[in-house]
Each structure stands twice: as C-alpha cells, then as structure tokens.
Amino acid sequence: MADFDWKGVFAATLCPFLDDEEIDEPGLARYAAELSRVDGLRGLVVNGHTGEIMSLLPEERERVTRIAKEAAGDCVKIVSGVSAEGSREAIAHARAALEAGADAILLMPPHHWLRFGRDSRTAVGFIRDVAEAVPIPVIVHQYPAWTKAGYTLSEMLEMVRLPSVVSIKMGTRDMARWGHDYRALKASAPDVSIVTCHDEYLLPTLLDGCDGVLVGFAGFAPEPIVALTRSALSGDLAGAYAVQEKLRPLARIIYRFGEPTGDAHQRMKCARWLLGTFPSRNVRRPLRPLAEQDVARIRSELSEAGFTPVN
C-alpha cells in the first residue's frame, strides 16, 4: 500500500436489506459496482455507520466486504469498518476483513468509551494493538470532540507514527481545532492523509486544510462530492462554490442542518430508493422505518430540487 496515498474521495456505503432484514446481496453488488465506476472516486468504505455496522453480525460484515470487493474489482480500494469493544475482538475483525479482500480498515474507537472514557495509554494502545497484529493499512476514525471517545492531538500524533496508520478520518467537529490539528499532524507525518467526514460542512474543512473526504454523502451523490473536492483542493473557489450551491438542497434533505445520524443515513437510503437508484428503503432493527409523512416530505423536496422520484 506504500504506492497509494489515501487522498481524494472515499464513499461510505449504504447496506440494502430485504423485507425480512436479510442483506440484499444482489442489490449490494449492483450498488457497489455502480459507485466503483464513478470517475474520481478512490474507494468504497463498507461496514461504516452509514452501512448500519452496529446491526451487522461479524460474519455479515465479512460478507459485505467480499461482495463489495468482487463487485468493484480493481476500480477502487475497499475499506472495511472495524467496530469492537476490545483489542482481541478488533484484531479478529481486522483479520476477517483482510481475508475478505479489504485493502484497509476503518478502525472505530470502542463505544464503551463514549460512556466511561479512557486514558491516553488505552486510546493509543488500542490502535497499536490492531495495527501491529494485522498486516493491513489502518484509517483511524476520529470521533467528535464532544464525545469521550474523541482523540486529542497528542494522541493522534502518537498514532500517525505507527507504520500501518495511513490516514485519519477527522470527525472532530471542532472547527477551532481543525486547521491547527491538520497542520500539526502533517508536519509530524506528511504521508498520512487527513480526510474529512464533516458531511454537513464539507467545504470549510476542505478549504482549511484537508487531503480528501470519507463521507456517506459520497455514497448518495458521488459525482458532486468528487467535483466539490477536486475544485476545493485545487484552489478553484468559484467552481467549489458552484458545486456547493447544487449540494445545499440535498444536504438539507439528508442532514436537516445537523450531523450524520442513523436517521440521516435512513433518509439517504430512502432518497436513493425514491430516485430508483437503490433497491429498497428497508432498514434493520433497532431502526424503525421512516414515517410515511417523512417519506412524502423527502419525495416533495427531491422534486423541488429538480430531481424526478420514480417511487
């Protein structure tokens, strides 16, 4: 992986389900194949929050990775999310992802930290445990600063020194820290990419210091996200603002002026289904289906934005 820079646009993918909540494998393969052939898209990230990882069994996560890899071929890199509460479990999931064909893993923090917190030795040690145990590139998932699972700059500076860490998915959502942290990390490890996952305000992070994006929004509207990223990173502000204006109504439909959430991911799935570009709007429990009035509102807002719903 030394010849791949882990910059550009990576789409966090949705996971289609049948009416009985089983994975729609043919639907997933079609969706992954379609995304993988979008010009400028560099990778698909399966088993992320957008893909409802928390409701997927370990063997299902592996199956999703295999399906995406087979569908995408060599067109893009495949990154598989790893979410586990302990190092041994995370190592097992990372090995399974590698065996299923993943080119890298997106390593999330243990979610019990959200409640109980952790110290720096534990935080850095968790990343080191996985990075040293499994020979696969690691993208560290930085959670929002308001959570107890977010990493400090000093912790990230230790993480980027690990040879397997190739990127940080920066989800700090603290814009006062963004530019400072980016520059400090790049000064310490210039070859480690910093990619934004701030779906709700991509352009500010791209302009303040960034190497790319890893967002569910790119799994919904990949072409404009690629165009926005290219324009912003090349310094074409007029072009970036032009794309941003086209994205504004879509962002309102999906994110409702908030951060990515399970509901936002469900609205994304519903909107693609309404447009005929996703097999269903089914979700897996504990999520509940959107209320019909919400579906009607999304249908109406898509029409107002110039799209033609077919469902």
| CATH code of the domain containing 107 | 3.20.20.70
Question: Collapsing DSSP states into helix, strand and coil, what is residue 128?
Answer: helix
**pTM for the structure as a whole:** 0.97
pLDDT at 1 over 60: no
Asked, for residue 268, whether it belongs to a domain, the answer is no
pLDDT value for 95: 98
Structure tokens at 299: 């249908």
- Mean pLDDT over 204-214 rounds to 97
Count of domains observed in the chain:
1
Q: For residue 293, give both structure tokens.
A: 């009035």
Once rounded to an integer, what is the mean pLDDT over residues 236-256? 96
For residue 195, pLDDT beyond 60 = yes
pLDDT at 201: 85
Residues of the chain with pLDDT > 70: what percent? 99
SS3 at position 118: coil
Whether 286 maps to a domain, the answer reads: no
Instruction: Quote the percentage of the chain above a pLDDT of 90.
Output: 97
Q: Which domain holds residue 30?
A: 8-236
The pLDDT of 165-193, averaged and rounded, is: 97
Q: Would you say residue 136 lies in a domain? A: yes
pLDDT for the residue numbered 2: 60
Tokens 């890893």 — which residue?
214
- Judge whether 202 lies within some domain: yes
35 domain residue, yes or no: yes
Q: What is the pLDDT of residues 58-69, one digit of tens each?
A: 999 999 999 999
For the chain, the helix, strand and coil percentages under 3-state DSSP, each to the nearest 5? 50, 15, 35
Residue 292 lies in a domain: no
The answer to whether residue 188 is domain-embedded is yes
pLDDT exceeds cutoff 90 at 216: yes
Assign 23 a pLDDT band (cuts: 50, 70, 90).
very high
Contacts of 212 (CB under 8 A, 6+ apart): 6, 7, 8, 9, 10, 42, 193, 195, 196, 229, 233
155 pLDDT band, cuts 50/70/90, is very high
For residue 283, pLDDT beyond 60: yes
